[in-house]
Structure 1
Amino acid sequence: MEKALWYLLAGTRGGENRARIIRTLDERPRNANQLAEHLDVDYNTVRHHLDMLEDHDVVEPGGDDYGQLYFLTDRFEHHRDAFEEIIDHVE
């Protein structure tokens, strides 16, 4: 998981937006539209980042397809310290 977080947050373009999505989902679950509005980012951009985060087991969807909420995974929660360390390094 730590390697995936380094890749997602520091190794590719878009790491800043992915970190913002993670921080926002840490406040409460949201759907892609709510994330786009809250972060003032294009919906398709949010969808792209959510797909990447889901592929690397950082977030998981819940509910039906329409209005599907996203949650941080238990696996991510076990590696939260690594996330914070990476964010400190990137900022």
Structure 2
Amino acid sequence: MESVLWYVLTSTRGGDNRLRLLLAAHEEPRNANQFATDLHLDYKTVRHHLDVLVENDILEPVSEGYGARYRPTDKVHHHWETVEKILDEADGDRYRV
């Protein structure tokens, strides 16, 4: 999971937005529209990054269907120190919601 976090959040285009989504979901589960509003991102951009995060087992839906809210998976919680390291290297204060 550590290598997946590093890759998805730092080594790929869009990693900054995925890190922002992860941190926001860690703070409070949100749906795609709430992410878009809170993070000032386009809804389609949010949907794309949510799909990447879910596909890589970083976020999971709390419920199914329209309006589903997303939260970090148990695996991510278990490796949260890796997220903190990523934040330290990426000037983490700019990613806080």
**Normalising by the residue count of structure 1, what TM-score does the alignment of the two structures yield?**
0.94
Corresponding position: 1:65 with 2:60: no
Task: Identify unmatched segments of 5+ residues in structure 2.
Answer: 92-97
CA–CA distance in structure 2, aligned partners of residues 35 and 23 of structure 1: 11
Task: For residue 41 of structure 1, give the secondary structure of its aligned residue in structure 2.
Answer: coil
Residue number in structure 1 paired with 2:84: 84
Over 2 Å off, 4+ runs = none
Q: How many residues align?
A: 91
Residue number in structure 1 paired with 2:7: 7
1:9–1:87 contact (8 Å) kept in structure 2: no
Q: Deviations over 1:17-45 (max 9, x none)?
A: 11111111111110001000100000010
Q: By how many angstroms is 1:87 displaced?
A: 2.0
Q: By how many angstroms is 1:6 displaced?
A: 0.9
Task: Identify unmatched segments of 5+ residues in structure 1.
Answer: none
Within a 5 Å distance, the mapping from 1:36-47 to structure 2 comes to 36-47=36-47
Q: By how many angstroms is 1:90 displaced?
A: 2.8
Q: Percent identity?
A: 49
CA–CA distance in structure 1, aligned partners of residues 63 and 82 of structure 2: 28
**Normalising by the residue count of structure 2, what TM-score does the alignment of the two structures yield?**
0.89
